[in-house]
Every structure is written in structure tokens, then in C-alpha cells.
Structure 1
Amino acid sequence: MKIAFLKIGLVLLLLLGLSSCKQKEGSKDNANTELTEVSEESGFIEIFDGKTLSNWKGDPTYWSVQNGNLVGEVTPETLLKSNTFIIWQGGQPDDFELKLEFKIATSGNSGINYRSELLDTIPNALKGYQADIDGKMRYTGQNYEEKKRATLAYRGENVIINTQNNSNEPESLRANVKKNCWQSREVIGSLGDSDSLKLNIKSDDWNEAHLIIKGNKLQHYINGVLMSEVTDNDTVNRKLKGYLGVQVHVGPPMKVEYRNIRLKNL
């Protein structure tokens, strides 16, 4: 009998030990998951406080803070004659990642400008690279260069931009744009069909944009899906640093909202 009891006791101890090991392993896995989630956001800083327009410059007719969101709004009484931006005043990033969430009305047209220049002739206006955003989702995710080379990559395209000539005069730029698209570009691959990629974008709801801008490679992600990629080899017209800003576009009354705007310098 004693031997039998001893055997039962040893079995119970063994089972308890295995259970304890499993619990410890589970705790370790959970800890690693938590660390991974933290490390993915490591280095990002909030550049919009959700309360004020501090460190942002734009026309208060069109830009405000509502319910913690940065809101751009055009009303029937405030229709625009030219696109207007609210511009971050914290620097001119070169290599960076930008994450933010946006929600846009169906009638809306907006975009996230980066590595951009200020225009002298129009207040609160930028020219430069833009991650396009629109409410009908025709253009959302593409790379459009505002007031410069126009469309560089449509949604679903991996593109190389080549130097067109040795001049960056406005006349030269206009001559090389046809049907609102830069002609000195080469589509080197597909990221997916544009209409299929559009299924990853939510209409009149919150979406996350993630821009990875490093060297001459420009990647636009929406909700974790790569929508366009540009390698800009045009040493005459490309920019490697510049202003960040978001836009409201000429057109009908519209509303666009941004929140959780985070920047990481690379």
C-alpha cells in the first residue's frame, strides 16, 4: 500500500510541475507579445495633441479641433479658390515614418503632404509629394505630387521615376505632364489590382495611413496594405526633406478628420 501511495504522490507532483512550467511559458509568451506591441511603436512621437492647433499653421476658417480630432471643413459659405493646408511647424523631416488615422466624407478630397515646399504666391499652400485621400476612394493611397509632377504612382503600382531633363522650370514640368500624370516614369511591378486594393479602405469611417519615407523610396500603406511605391531617381525634381501638412481641396463642401498623428524620424 505504501508503495502505491508513493507512486500516486510522485505522479501528482509530476503533473503539478508540468502545469507550473506551462503557466510560466504562457506568461513568457504574453510578456513577449506585450514587448513586441510596444516596440512596434517605439520612436514615434505625437505631433498633434488632440486639444489645440499648437505647432500647426493653417487658416482657422477651414481648420479646427473637434472631439479630439484635427478637422478640415469646407462649407457652402467658405468654398475654396485654391487648395489649402494646415502645416506642421515642428521641422522638415527627411527620412521618417508617419502614422495617422483619417475619416473623410464621400464628397471629400484631401491628402497628406510631405517633403514639401511652401508656396510664396498662395497662403497656407504646399507643393510636393502627397499621399492622396478622397471620399470616393478613386485616388486614396496613390502618390500625387501637388503642383509639380502630378501623378507619380497610381494605387497598385510600383514605379521608378527617371530624370526627364536638366531643368526644373515650371514650363518644363507642365510639358511632361499628360492626363495629370508624369510621363518619365516606369511601372516595374504590381502591388495588386486597384479595385481589389480599394476593398481594404473603409468608406466614411476611420482608416490608418502609414507612410514609410526613406531615401528616394516612398511607400504609402492604408490599413496595413501597401497601396503604392515610388523610387524617385529624378535628381532634378525630387526633394529629400520638407514640410508635413494635410489638405482640404477645391470642390464641393466637405469634411475630413485626422487623429493619432505620430512621427518617427529614421
Structure 2
Amino acid sequence: MTTIYYVGYGAAHPGDFLYDFPEGHDFWLLILTHTPAEIWVQGSVREYPANCAVLFRPGQKIWYRACAEQFVNDWVRFDTDESYLTETTLPLGVPLPLVDPGYFSRLFQLLATEHFFQYDYRELSIDYLLRLMFHKLLEAARETDRQPDEHQLLELRKRIHNNPGFAWSVPVMAESVHLSPSYLQALYKSAFGVSCMEDVIQSRVRLAKERLLYGSQRIADIAALCGYRNVEHFSRQFRRIAGCTPRSFRSSAGAAADQK
């Protein structure tokens, strides 16, 4: 069983903020930094960049402070007898850089909502959220070959997948992450195993399949929605990815539905 004592997110502290507990607490503490911070780790104080997670076990020395005009963080204080927490292989008291800190921050917000309100499945929801959070922390701890600009690349990839119909081009993408086009292409392929423009095309085809399966729009309208000014170009790229034309895809899907 896990007991949450307090959850906070997006808390802003002044530049002279210091959190100093030499003997630690009698509960667990997990923090997520949104700004740079100085943190005591294994006998010395070092400055760490923003977007790091740090887990402190009960009784462990805790010392961190702001090293800019403001310190912003999320945190959760809890007690637990769950083995996935008490026997965790996560490094304790050591900052873990996070590729997608926004994802973690949203988990803190959801955790706070479940903690402060008496919903019917409150305890179960808290357990699920904590397990998800710690699974993601384990993934972060195992990622040792991180690209220096991977956070920016991940945000770019989210924008591509959420809006594939935008007029994406390598120069436009490079400008959005403040990288040169050639450097962006090399980093993107290394990080995700696919080129940035191929990722755009695959995202467009996924959206097209969704509209072909569950909509009644004309193929020309779907092509425009997916960012294509030319229906023939859309059809060629769709066929390369899906193995058939958009029209054949829609007809096959409709025939399969009629046989059920």
C-alpha cells in the first residue's frame, strides 16, 4: 500500500531557496526540477540542468537549492511497502535527466488531482499513476546514450504527429528547433530510426487511413487535410507506405466490414 502525504506541481521558489534536511525524512520524496538546481550528490554539490528527477529514500540526506533567479519543481511525498518502490533499482539521490519532462509533469498534476479529491477509484488511480511514473523513470535511468538535443527533437516529433497536415519541410523543422537542416536530419535519424520527412509522410498516411476508414470525405479532401496539394502525389506516397491506393484501401475496408 502507498500513502501520499502531499503532491505539488509547478511550485515557484525565490532565488535564495534552499531545501536542507541532513537526516532526510521518514518518508520517500520524489522531485522533478523545471529549472537548474544545485544538488548534493554523494558528498559534493553540483549544478544540474533543468528537467531532472531525483528520488530520495527515507533517512537519506536531502540538500538542493536554486541556482538562478527562481527555482520551479514538482514533488510528491509518500510512504509505501510496494516492492516496485522499496526494491527499486533507480539511483537514489542522483538526478536523472528526462527526455520528456512535460509527460512527467502531467503525471504529477494527475496525481495531485487524485490525491486532493475523493473520487471513487482514488486509491487505484494513484497506484496506477505511481507505477507508470516509476516505469518511465526506469526507462530514463537506462537511457545512457542520450542525444544532447533529444528533448527538442521529441517535442518536434510530437508536433509532427499531432499535426501531420502542416506544411512541414526540413528547413521549417530545423528552424523550429534552432538547428541546421543537415544536423537536424542526422540527429533525428539517430534518435528515432527514421528521417524527419519520412516521419511526416508516415504520420500523414496514418491520418489518411483513419479518415478513409471512418469518414465519408472525398479522397481529394483527405489529401488536402493531410498536407498534399496534389492528389496524385498523395496517392503515390500512400501506396508506397500502405501497399495500395487510397481508393483500394477504402474499398477493402468497406468489403471487410460488410462480411462481418
TM-score with structure 1 setting the length = 0.18
Bigger radius of gyration, 1 or 2?
1
- Bigger share in helix: 2
Greater relative CO, 1 or 2 (CA 8 Å, sep 6+): 1
Q: Which has the higher strand share?
A: 1
Normalising by structure 2, we get a TM-score of 0.18
